Amino acid sequence: MKRFSLVIIAVLAGLMGHAQTNTPGALPTPRAPTLINSESADFDLNGHQGIYRGHVRVDDPQMKLTCEHLIADMPQAGGRPNHIVAETNVVIDYTDDKGQTNHATGDKAVYVYSEQGGVTNETVTLTGNPQIENAQGTQAGDVIILDLANNKAHFDNPHMIFRQNLNGATTNTNSPVTVVKTTNFPPGTIQNIDKNISNHIDHPPF
């Protein structure tokens, strides 16, 4: 049963790990518990895998995730999980390091963690019509990679839809007159940003 517990803890630790990545040097502060609810769950002790199925909901103090299927793998030698897959109607709501709320969606989210030569690689890759919505608008791409270790987000084939107020100025406030452009060709839409422009955006959601 020890492996069983390790697998489950690994799932949780992995889901919570992002919250700790962006605060190097910060003193640990007490956190509320992380909860994972699902309709059912399988724990493969030989395969080092935990599988949550059906209305999976992760409630963490710094983010909430819902999906229909979540699989977590952990290394044979133990330690933190190196691979977590959330599938089907993936929704992640979180607050970034600027205090801004973000709403990320996609068909699939893959968390990968590795350490090589003292370098930590930790990413979440969103695919399947992925997008991140916040006060500025909606950022979308074919693939969105959240580089948790370096606090960046990478968008493949990015396109953005800005929120605009009635004066046409982009807003990042809670203006009551904010309008989301959802027409076929919204003036605030930018598609296929030139490849020469860096697709990296600082201050990713996690």
Q: Which residues contact 133 (CB under 8 A, 6 or more apart)?
A: 102, 103, 104, 105, 139
Beta carbon of residue 58, minimum distance to other proteins (angstroms, whole number): 9
Nearer to other proteins, 16 or 193 (CB): 16
Nearer to other proteins, 52 or 206 (CB): 52
Beta carbon of residue 148, minimum distance to other proteins (angstroms, whole number): 19
Nearer to other proteins, 34 or 121 (CB): 34
Beta carbon of residue 116, minimum distance to other proteins (angstroms, whole number): 19
Give, in order, the Cα–Cα distances in Å from 22 to each of 19, 87, 181: 6, 25, 32
Q: How far apart are the first and last CA of the chain?
A: 32
Give, in order, the Cα–Cα distances in Å from 196 to each of 142, 155, 200: 18, 13, 11
Q: How many CB atoms lie within 10 A of CB 29?
A: 7
Nearer to other proteins, 53 or 181 (CB): 53
Beta carbon of residue 43, minimum distance to other proteins (angstroms, whole number): 5
Enumerate binding residues for other proteins (CB under 8 A).
Answer: 1-6, 8-13, 16, 28, 30-46, 52, 77-80
Sequence length of the chain is 206
